A and B are shown apart, each in its own frame.
Chain A
Amino acid sequence: MFYARNPIPFNGVFHINDLSGEARLDESTLIRHAANGDAAAWEPLVLAHQEAVFRLAYLILGDPDDAADAAQEAFLRAWNHIQSFDPTRPLRPWLLSIVTNLARNRYRSAGRYLAALTRGFRNEPAPANIEEKSAQHLEASELWKAVQTLNMPDQQIVYLRYFLDLSVTETAEVLQVAEGTVKSRLSRALERLRGIIQQEFPVLAERREGHEGRDA
C-alpha cells in the first residue's frame, strides 16, 4: 500500500494522489490549482464527476448526444468560473446545478426539440429490442416516462434525489434552496408522481402496492 508523508485527511469526497499514491490532494486543493489556471488539476475533477453530470443531463434531455454536449459545456463553464467558486464547498452540487440549467435551456430550445423528434423517429427501437430488455430495465424505463410527465422542477428534484441518489442536503445545494424547501417540494412531487403512476402506469402501481404490502 502506498503511504504519504503528510497525508491530508480524507474529506469524504475523494483524494488525488501523485505518482506513487502519496502527497494526497483533496478536491479543494485541486480546485485551488484549477483556479490558478492549472488545467491538469481540472481534468481529474472532470473525470470524477463526469458520470453524474452526464447522467443528469441525459435524464433531463433524453438524448445521449445532447447530454454529452451539455455536460461538456457545463465543465467548460465551470472552468471559466472556477475562480469564483469557494474551494471549501463540494464541487459536484455546483456542477450539477450548472448542467441542470444548461440542459433545461437546451430542452426548451426549438432546435433541440426538432432534432429530438428527428432522432426519435430515426432511432425508434424495434419491439424485439424492447423485449430483450430485462424486466428491471423496463420498469426503470417506465418510471422515467412517468417522471417525464411531471413539470420540470418536479422532474429535477426527483432525478437528483432518487435517480442520482443525492442526499437532501446535496439536492438543496444543487437547487440552491433550503433543505426544508427540498422536503416540501419532494413531498408534492411524490404526490403527483404517485397519482400519475396509478392512472397511467398501472404496472408500476401494482408493483408498488405489492412492495408496500410486503414491507408493511
Chain B
Amino acid sequence: MNALEQELFEKRLVSIATGLDYPRTPDIAGSVMARLRPATRSRFLSRRLTWSLTIILILFSSLMLIPPARAAIIEFIQIGVVRIFGTEPTPPVPIEEIPSTMMPVTATPVPTLPSLIPMLENLAGEMTLEEAQQTVDYPILLPSYPPDLGQPDRIFVQDADGDMTVLVWVDPQQPDEVLMSLHFLPAGSWAIKKIEPTFIQETTVSRQRAIWAIGPYPIRLYNGDLQFMRLIDGHVLIWADGDITYRLETDLGLEEAIKIAESLEPIR
C-alpha cells in the first residue's frame, strides 16, 4: 500500500468508524464518586456540607466524541429555563440505603468535604444586596426560613443573557464552606440542562410545579456555540414563578427545602 492508498484507506476507516453505534455511556462518574465519597450527609447549619458550590465544565474535547443524535434521544422535564434530561422521575432514596458495596473502597484518604469553594474569592460580580437589587430588574427574594438564616453572606450578579443573581450562605464557623445557595434565573437567560440526576421527583412550591433532584449530578448549560457543564454535589429544588426560575441548592431534605422556597420574601 503506497502513501496515497494508505491515506485514502485511513480516511475511509475514520468515515466508517464514526457510524459505529456505541451503547449509551453509563454514569461512570456517579459510580466512581459514590465509591470515593463518604456515604453520610451533614445537617444544615450544624455540620459540614458534602458538596462544593458549583463548577462549570466546558467540554470542548468531549464535544467531538458525542454523536449529534445523542442530544435528542431522551425525554426531559422543563421548569422555567431549566431542562432536566434523564430517566423517569424516581422516588428519592435515603443516602443511608446506598448498598455497602458503594462505600469507599480505596485506601487513598479522601476528605469529607470537597474544597473548591475558595474559587468564590475569584468571582466577579460580587456586590452588596442593595447594589444587586438596583442592578437587576426583578425583585430579589430572601428566605425567611429558617428563622436564624439571616441575609446571604455573598451576593453575585452575572450576565447570563439576563442578570442572574446568586445568593450564597456560608458556614459562620467556616466561612469558606457554603451552606446553601439560591439562584435567580430571569427569562431569556441560558437554558440550563441537567442530565441524569441520581434521583428526580416532581413536587410543588406554593402550588407551582417544581422538581427535586438529588445529586450528585452534572448540569449542562448551553449558550450559543459554547457548551458548559456544571457539576453540583448536592440537592437542588427548581421552581418557577412568573419570569424567574429559582434554584435552591442545599443538602437538606425535600420538606425543608420546600419550606425555604415557600418562605421567600422581598428584601425588607
Main DSSP-derived SS at the A contact region:
helix
Count B-side interface residues using an 8 Å CB cutoff.
76
Determine which residue in B33, B164, B166 has the highest number of CB atoms from chain A within 10 A of its CB, and name it.
B33
Q: Is the CB of B120 within 8 A of A79?
A: no
Q: Which residue of chain A has the shortest Cβ distance to B54 in the bound complex?
A: A19
Task: Please report which residues of chain B, range 59-74, place their CB below 8 angstroms from some CB of chain A when the two chains form the complex.
Answer: 59-62, 64-66
Q: Does A1 contact B (CB under 8 A)?
A: yes
* B18-46 near A? 1/0 per residue, CB < 8 Å: 11111101101101110111000000000
B92 contacts the other chain (Cβ, under 8 Å)?
no
Contact A19/B8 with A2-B160, A44-B231, A139-B16 known, Cβ cut-off 8 Å? no
| Overall SS of chain B's interface | mixed
Measured between alpha carbons, how far is A23 from B52 in the docked complex, in Å?
Answer: 15
Minimum CB–CB distance for B254 against chain A, Å = 23
Min CB distance, A179 to chain B, in Å? 15
* B142 contacts chain A at the CB level, 8 A cutoff: no
Q: With A18-B56, A39-B33, A211-B12 as known contacts, state yes or no: A46 contacts B158, CB within 8 Å.
A: no
Provided the pairs A18-B120, A51-B66, A79-B106 are in contact, do residues A39 and B114 lie with their beta carbons within 8 angstroms? yes
Q: How far is the CA of A23 from the CA of B121 in the complex (A)?
A: 9
Given contacts A44-B55, A47-B218, A143-B17, contact A23 B123 (CB under 8 A): yes
A50 to B25, CA, bound (A): 8
Is A202 an interface residue when CB atoms closer than 8 A count as contact?
no
B59: which A residues are within 8 A, CB to CB? 14, 47-48
Residue of B nearest to A20 (CB): B158
A163 CB contact (under 8 Å) in B4, B17, B23, B125: B17
